[in-house]
Structure 1
């Protein structure tokens, strides 16, 4: 009986030691860094990293080859490639528009560099546009470039008859919105003259005193050229006389005077 009583505590101690060992093993397993849960987390992290690095893909920035801003825009993660493409394209388009704009302004500068016509390089003529049975009132003035270079005729012919109180006024809108007419060598230009418009201060004239104007109306007047009127007799003119601007089409200019 005494022997059984002595063995009983040893058995309990053995069981207690066994339980402690099992607990230690389980604890060690849970703390091991090579556990399956950590491995899965690592796999997820490595799987997600390519998606982020893909945001710097260099394939699209080529769309904005002229725009340097487009290249730097591609460094953002995920949406960086789209941003780089849009910015680059916009910059390239703007540069193209400015280049074209620069081309247009150069053409205008070239036209304005053409010299004003000089009377020594021009010939003048007149023609009546009235019926033979009517009084001569509607005159077409023709000017021809007899020189070797093209030149500009500005505004309208300045006509101031000797004895008249003032120069003849230009008919509004007869310039067609143009400030000058460029005459190539051998080409003609025109102006339409209403010699008498039913006004006062009538006088008889045999020629038309024409002066060429400079780029600014009333400036740079040329020497006077006395252009003979059609026919041999003097014709009546009055202060109702009007003239059109210089132009390339006689039909357009005559419309401004034929109904007057």
Structure 2
């Protein structure tokens, strides 16, 4: 009986030892396995390559270029931008050309479609403002500068070249353009001065030739002019005409 109990105890001990060894082996295996990665809900799912397709990334074909799909998109955008730019430039050029042709087809401002007036100003000293107003039904071009003749002058005064505008001044019906007139020097350095109440004004065409007849412009009082008499180009703004 004692031998039977001893054999059972020995068997139990062997089984327990075996179970313990198995448990330790399992624990060791689990400790060597990598820990599961944290779950990222925003991470994109891995794409499975289509059958027969290369497993290389879609953005790299191995030759430094984009994939056919990306190239098609990019090419479409480039073509669209190119076409759009071409159409825009073409349209802009056409509009500019049309406007230029329209401006060139306008009549020249003359005494027949305008009214001229001249007034004295306080500043600058010894200056007057010549105003031309379009009295016609169509816009007209005021080319270059007015041609002035005070009294019995044998020559017309020079123009101030610095006052030349960037484009021809176009005067719409009812609107005005301006020219500044310096009648004499402020420091008395001018020569050959005289006083007069007579003023005639002429216009120039696109070729800088006389356009129409000279127009008599009344003066309210005597005006003193000397050798420093000058006139500006036609201006669209009054202040620009009195800058010189």
After alignment, is 222-231 or 117-126 more displaced? 222-231
Residue in 2 aligned with 1:200?
A: 191
Deviation digits for residues 123-172 of structure 1, max 9, x if unmatched?
111111149xxxx8311111111111111111211224565464322223
* Bigger relative contact order (CA 8 A; separation at least 6): 2
Which whole-Å CA distance do the structure 2 matches of 1:219 and 1:100 have between them? 38
**8 Å contact from structure 2 (residues 160, 230) kept in 1:** yes
After superposition, the Cα gap between the structure-2 partners of 1:162 and 1:207, relative to the gap in structure 1 and judged at 3 Å, is closer
TM-score (ref. length: structure 1): 0.59
1:138 paired with 2:141, answer no
Contact 2:205 2:211 in 1 (8 A): yes
**Cα RMSD over matched residues?**
3.1
Is the helix fraction higher in 1 or 2?
Answer: 1
The structure-2 alpha-carbon separation of the partners of 1:92 and 1:78, relative to structure 1 and needing over 3 Å to count, comes to: closer
Matched, 1:180 2:168: yes
Question: Secondary structure, in 3 states, of the residue corresponding to 2:81?
Answer: helix
- Counting matched residue pairs gives 181
Paired residues of 1:155 and 1:179 also in contact (CA < 8 A): no
Question: How far 1:245 sits from its partner (Å)?
Answer: 1.6
SS of residue paired to 2:236? coil
- 2:151, 2:197 within 8 Å by CA — same for their partners in 1? no
Distance 1:113 1:93 in 2: 35
Q: Distance in 1 between matches of 2:137 and 2:173?
A: 6
User: Who is 1:16 aligned against?
Assistant: none
Q: Could you tell me the TM-score, scaled by structure 2's length? A: 0.63
Task: Write the mapping of 1:133-172 to structure 2, written as runs, cut at 5 A.
Answer: 137-161=126-150, 164=153, 166-172=155-161
State the partner residue of 1:48: 52
- Which residue of 78, 87, 103 corresponds with 1:90? 78
